[in-house]
């Protein structure tokens, strides 16, 4: 499974990805987690199983959700509190819930 975080590529997202990877490893979940700039959405839709958006790019929600829906890829905005506190466990759970 591949989880892709799309953002403006700040330090917070990179830290969040690392924390998510640690939680996944501790839970023995085989998952690939990456962060990419939001402008890469078309490329990421070809390989991602789920996409999470950084709260700072929520202004692009309508455009991005349309593209993801057309590609049949689950997409959601990362919980703002979890993003702000870089809560890797909560964000991983959010991604896993989208996969159901």
Q: What is the pLDDT of residues 59-98, one digit of tens each?
A: 999 999 999 999 999 999 999 999 999 999 999 999 999 9
In CATH terms, the fold of domain 2-98 is Rossmann fold (3.40.50)
> What does pTM read for this prediction?
0.94
Give all strands (DSSP E) within the chain, no chain letters.
Answer: 2-7, 32-37, 50-53, 75-77
Residues designated catalytic: 7
pLDDT at 9 over 80: no
CA atoms within 13 A of residue 29's CA, in its CB half-sphere: 18
What secondary structure does DSSP assign to 64-88, as a single string? HHHHHHHTT--EEEPPHHHHHTT-H
- pLDDT tens string 16-56: 999 999 999 999 999 999 999 999 999 999 999 999 999 99
Domain boundaries, the chain: 2-98
In this structure, the number of other CB atoms found within 10 A of the CB of residue 25 comes to 11
């Amino acid at each position: 499974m591949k989880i892709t975080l799309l953002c403006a590529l700040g330090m917070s997202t990179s830290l969040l990805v690392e924390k998510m990877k640690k939680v996944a490893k501790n839970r023995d979940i085989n998952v690939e987690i990456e962060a990419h700039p939001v402008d890469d959405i078309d490329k990421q839709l070809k390989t991602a199983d789920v996409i999470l958006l950084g709260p700072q790019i929520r202004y692009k929600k309508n455009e991005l959700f349309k593209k993801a829906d057309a590609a049949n890829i689950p997409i959601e905005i990362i919980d703002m509190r979890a993003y702000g506190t870089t809560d890797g466990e909560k964000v991983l759970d959010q991604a896993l819930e989208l996969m159901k």
